[in-house]
Structure formats: C-alpha cells, structure tokens
Amino acid sequence: MEEKDSANIMKQLLSAIVYCHASNVVHRDLKPENLLLESTDEGARIKVIDFGTSQIFNSSKKMTVKIGTPYYIAPEVLSQSYTEKCDVWSCGVILYILLCGYPPFVGRNDFDIMNRIKKGIIKMVGPAWDAASEDAKDLVKHMLTYDPKKRFSAQQALNHPWIKKLCQQIIDVEFTKELLNNMRNFQTQHKLQEAALTYIASQLATNHEKEKLQSTFIVLDTNGDGRLEVSELISAFKEYFGPDFPAEQEVESIMSRIDIDNNGHIDYTEFVLATINKKRLLSKERMILAFAIFDKVMLSRIHSLYRMEVAPFRRMK
C-alpha cells in the first residue's frame, strides 16, 4: 500500500477518534477488523464500528478495566490504569501495519504478545521501513510512545505533517459557496418538518448524494474534530465571500437555526440537513418512507398513552 493511501485511512480513523474523544467517548478496541469500507470502489471511505467495549470517560479519572485485543492493546491498559490515549496507541499499531504489513508486537501466543507490549520496544527495520518516509516513521513513534503523558493525542496525530501533506483536499469553490449559501437560507418552521428532514437526509440520502457534502465538510472542518465551530464557519465565509462579508453576524444567525441540539457547533448531520439539495432529496418515495416511520412512532405513542390512561380504571373495576 502506498503511503498516500495509508495516510487517507489514518486521517479518517483519527478524525473519528478525535470526535469520540471530544465527546468523552473512548473506543478501547480499535483494530483493522473494526474498520469497514463503505463500498468496493477505489478511495471508498471507512467507518469505525463495534463500540461494544466503548465507555464514557472522565479526564480526571483513570480507567481500570483490562479490555481490548492482543496486538492492538496499549501497555497501560494491561497495567489497568489508562486514559483515552489507549486509542491512539491502537491507531499507531494500525498505522505500523499499514506501512510494513505486520504488527509491531508478535509472539507464539497472546501471553507472549502482551509481554512484548508491556516492554513497549518498537523496531522499524527491514526493506519496508527503509522505503518509508521519515515523516511516517515520526508519526508512528509519537503514537507508540510508551508513556501516555508523552504520547500524541488523537488531535496531535491528526495534525501531523505526514497526514496534512498527503491528504490535501481538492476544493470545489463554486460548490462550497453553494453549500454556504444553502446554510444561510436554511429554514424549518415546525419540529415535525425538522425531524422528517433530518431522518431523510441522514438515513435515506444515497452515498453518491452525500459524497461531495462529506468532502466539503472535511475541508471546512479545519481542525478535523468532526464538527464545525463558529470560528471555522467565520473563516470559511470570509475566505469564499471576501474579507468585507459580515461573517460574524451571518454565522450567529446560522447557528440559531441549524444548531438543533444547541451544543455550540454544527455536527455532520446538521450540516447535511442544512446544505443538501432539498428538491432532489424530497422525492415522493422518500416522503412516503419517512411518513411510514413517523406513522409507526405516533401509533406506538398513542397506544402507550392509551394504556396509561385506561389501565387504572380497569383495575378499579
């Protein structure tokens, strides 16, 4: 695999982990088996799956449950005192494998493997490593640093020069301006309309329809944390509409309409909802599917309310 392909995979993986860690979620079992391709097409995007071992973490408190998969588990997890940086170690192991084709810690059995992980000695020797760039090896070293306090965070790894240099996005200026204008014009007057649009945009839009939206979102999300901050939106409007554009006022208005959960930023679902082409999105077939879903939900709630209202009277009889 060429380094550019490895860098694209790592950028997507690290972006997902940055988003998780910013939301105080640690995965704890990152490995190639938990990375799925959206399709068989060249350059297909990856998805991180299997959050069965994930946990909400508190940055002031260490986690203690020993959990994970041999080859990818961090040494501090084996010592049962660790933070979210255990995910960065696992990502570092994945990068190591992408670059050379084999894991950094091997043994005859799980016991041998975990003993080697506890020692944490990383070797990068052989033909594959001779061909690897210094930037790639530097990132591996920072992600597989034994001391978690000195180890890169997911955000630092994502911002490494190796990833930035090999993962430059091609910007479609006119399309980006169109999406920003869609955000300016986005309106929903009713909660039901908002919910229906969110469901259709997130669940019924095709990958092809969302592909350019994803690429543009990544370009606008300059720090790669999976959400658009106010400062990032202001910078985007000034870049695409000129320095004299009243970006601060415009973004304030946009946030009041698009930030549905009022968390101070725009996540990907909110971005898709506000920018996707509504004329193409709201086809008759999708509207029928959305109606069927909401119809089932409303019927279920009505039945629940009915049981709550009627049951006491039945008992009295």
pLDDT of residue 308: 52
Spatial separation of the C-alpha atoms in residues 164 and 223, rounded to whole Å: 11
Q: Which two tokens stand for residue 135?
A: 């930037």
* Boundaries of every domain in the chain: 3-166, 173-281
Residue 88 half-sphere exposure toward CB, CA atoms < 13 A:
28
pLDDT of residue 86: 98
The third-level CATH classification (topology) of the domain covering 3-166 is Transferase(Phosphotransferase); domain 1 (1.10.510)
pLDDT of residue 317: 47
The C-alpha R_g of the chain, in whole angstroms, comes to 23
pLDDT of residue 296: 66
Active site residue 261: no
pLDDT of residue 313: 46
Are 247 and 258 in contact, with CB atoms under 8 Å apart?
no
Beta strands of the chain (E only): which ranges? Answer: 25-26, 35-37, 46-48, 55-56, 227-228, 266-267
Q: What is the pLDDT of residues 54-99, one digit of tens each?
A: 999 998 999 999 999 999 999 999 999 999 999 999 999 999 999 9
| CATH architecture of the domain with residue range 173-281 | Orthogonal Bundle (1.10)
pLDDT of residue 52: 94
Spatial separation of the C-alpha atoms in residues 132 and 61, rounded to whole Å: 38
204: DSSP letter = I
Which residue out of 5, 29, 130, 259 is catalytically annotated? 29
Residues of the chain predicted below pLDDT 50: 302, 306, 310, 313-317
pLDDT of residue 106: 93
Q: What is the pLDDT of residues 234-243, one digit of tens each?
A: 999 999 999 9
SS3 154: helix
Spatial separation of the C-alpha atoms in residues 299 and 296, rounded to whole Å: 5
Are 98 and 10 in contact, with CB atoms under 8 Å apart?
yes
pLDDT of residue 277: 73
pLDDT of residue 284: 74
Query: CA nearest 12: which of 226, 206, 266?
Result: 226
Spatial separation of the C-alpha atoms in residues 80 and 63, rounded to whole Å: 7
Q: What distance lies between CA 75 and its chain's CA centroid?
A: 25
Spatial separation of the C-alpha atoms in residues 27 and 55, rounded to whole Å: 7
Q: Which two tokens stand for residue 99?
A: 């670059």
pTM across the whole model:
0.81
Spatial separation of the C-alpha atoms in residues 251 and 219, rounded to whole Å: 17
Q: At what angle do helices 230-241 and 173-185 cross, to 10 degrees?
A: 120
